[in-house]
């Protein structure tokens, strides 16, 4: 038989899972089982050997976990994680107008420039949230150091970028979980080099990295594709934490017309000059075979992506009007609703700043769905430890025990 591995006397549901896993990894059954055995010797908590049915029933009600909100914007991340029991203990946002909205919504003014913040001044926390900007990384610096035979690590690869500051905070504070967000083009930016550096940096810091592009259209009446990155500290969760991104909800999102105000101010109607310009612009691009132009939203469907430049002309999401009137742009309140922000949250900045803020924001209902999946993994780990804590040593900020539902 040689080194051949046979599966005998194994329940069918385990066999099916092995088959699904190996196919997703493009491995033969033998290759996968050898990897499984190797991983299980390094990490005794290899998820395949856990009771996955029990994991599916895990909850962590009223979880007193803590998080920090970095590159916070107006708090779309914060809202989602507060809804599942999290408590924000530190926030960072440099834009003074976003700070004003954040203060009105959460009662605190975020700290400013992350480049001027010492990691040691950030409180210990369970989860780091960050919707960081996308920036290119330099290949030259790393190549030069290689040629000189000098060591290089994430600090050399990411130096000078805002991601560098996130990585440094993660290295020093060691939050058990990181949840990051960016535009979907992060994965292809700079021919994939940017994502390669980010992923390798997080792995170098000993985090298991999961990422997925999620379309907000599954939750709100707007196509909005963003990449979410969820990372677990390998030293706590092992190499294979049983995390999966949320499946799209079974119910359909509201139709676009549901976000509309009944009597919007006439100032949102496009002027004859602007409307003519947009039509001419679209026509010229069509003649050249391009797809650029304005977009009239389908009232019974979903709109295009709301961008931070919406304040300029509103061209990507226009609303048709009756009576021969020119189309109009959305009001700031409609833009807030399109992003899933509740009407109880006041708009305390100018229209221009409001459009920018909502165009840059994260959809709270999406972050809430991700937060629920993250909390389930926390519950799984806490229950396995048996001490009510995320760490086996009992030294952690999260203290409530996970429980199994009995219903």
Rounded-to-5 percentages of helix, strand, coil across the chain: 45, 15, 45
Beta strands 58-59 and 403-404: pairing type?
antiparallel
145-152: which pairs have CB atoms within 8 A and are 24 or more residues apart? Answer: none
381 close to 237: Cβ distance less than 8 angstroms: yes
Beta strands 225-233 and 207-215: pairing type?
antiparallel
How far apart (Å, rounded) are the C-alpha atoms in residues 185 and 139? 19
Residues 6+ apart with CB under 8 A from 233: 174, 175, 176, 177, 206, 207
* Nearest residue to 20 via CA among 48, 57, 53: 48
202 close to 152: Cβ distance less than 8 angstroms: no
- The DSSP code for 12 is H
CA atoms within 13 A on the CB side of 387: 11
Q: How many CB atoms lie within 10 A of CB 193?
A: 14
* Nearest residue to 133 via CA among 164, 178, 89: 164
Residues 6+ apart with CB under 8 A from 380: 50, 55, 58, 241, 242, 402
Reply yes or no on whether 134 is catalytic.
yes
In the three-class reduction of DSSP (H, G, I as helix; E, B as strand; rest coil), residue 352 is classed as helix
- The DSSP code for 133 is P
How far apart (Å, rounded) are the C-alpha atoms in residues 357 and 370? 22
In the three-class reduction of DSSP (H, G, I as helix; E, B as strand; rest coil), residue 178 is classed as strand
How far apart (Å, rounded) are the C-alpha atoms in residues 225 and 309? 17
256 close to 303: Cβ distance less than 8 angstroms: yes
351 close to 332: Cβ distance less than 8 angstroms: yes
Catalytic residues, by residue number, are 134
């Amino acid at each position: 038989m040689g080194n051949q591995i046979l599966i005998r006397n194994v329940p069918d549901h385990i066999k099916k899972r092995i088959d699904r896993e190996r196919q997703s990894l493009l491995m033969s059954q033998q290759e996968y089982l050898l990897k499984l055995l190797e991983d299980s010797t390094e990490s005794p908590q290899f998820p395949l050997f856990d009771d996955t049915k029990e994991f599916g029933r895990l909850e962590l009600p009223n979880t007193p976990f803590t998080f920090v909100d970095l590159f916070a914007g107006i708090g779309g991340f914060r809202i989602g994680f507060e809804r599942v029991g999290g408590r924000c203990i530190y926030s960072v946002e440099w834009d003074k107008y976003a700070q004003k909205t954040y203060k009105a919504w959460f009662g605190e003014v975020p700290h400013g420039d992350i480049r001027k913040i010492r990691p040691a001044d950030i409180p210990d926390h369970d989860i780091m949230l960050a919707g960081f900007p996308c920036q290119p990384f330099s290949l030259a610096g790393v190549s030069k150091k290689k040629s000189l035979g000098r060591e290089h690590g994430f600090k050399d690869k990411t130096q000078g970028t805002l991601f560098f500051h996130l990585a440094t905070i993660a290295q020093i504070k060691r939050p058990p979980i990181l949840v990051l967000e960016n535009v979907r083009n992060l994965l292809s930016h700079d021919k994939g080099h940017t994502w390669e550096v980010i992923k390798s940096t997080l792995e170098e810091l000993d985090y298991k990295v999961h990422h997925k592009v999620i379309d907000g259209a599954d939750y709100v009446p707007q196509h909005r594709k963003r990449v979410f990155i969820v990372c677990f500290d390998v030293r706590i969760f092992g190499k294979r934490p049983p995390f999966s991104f949320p499946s799209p909800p079974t119910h359909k999102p509201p139709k676009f017309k549901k976000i509309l105000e009944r009597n919007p101010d006439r100032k949102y109607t496009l002027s004859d000059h602007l409307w003519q310009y947009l039509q001419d612009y679209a026509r010229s691009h069509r003649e050249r075979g391009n797809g650029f132009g304005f977009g009239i939203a389908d009232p019974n469907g979903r709109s295009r992506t709301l961008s931070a430049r919406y304040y300029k002309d509103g061209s990507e999401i226009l609303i048709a009007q009756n009576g021969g009137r020119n189309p109009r742009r959305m009001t700031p309140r409609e833009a807030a609703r399109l992003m899933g922000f509740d009407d109880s949250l006041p708009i305390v900045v100018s229209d221009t700043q409001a459009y920018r803020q909502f165009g840059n924001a994260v959809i709270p209902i999406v972050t809430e769905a991700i937060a629920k999946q993250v909390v389930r993994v926390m519950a799984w780990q806490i229950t396995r430890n048996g001490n009510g804590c995320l760490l086996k040593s009992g030294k952690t900020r999260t203290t409530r025990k996970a429980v199994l539902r009995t219903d």
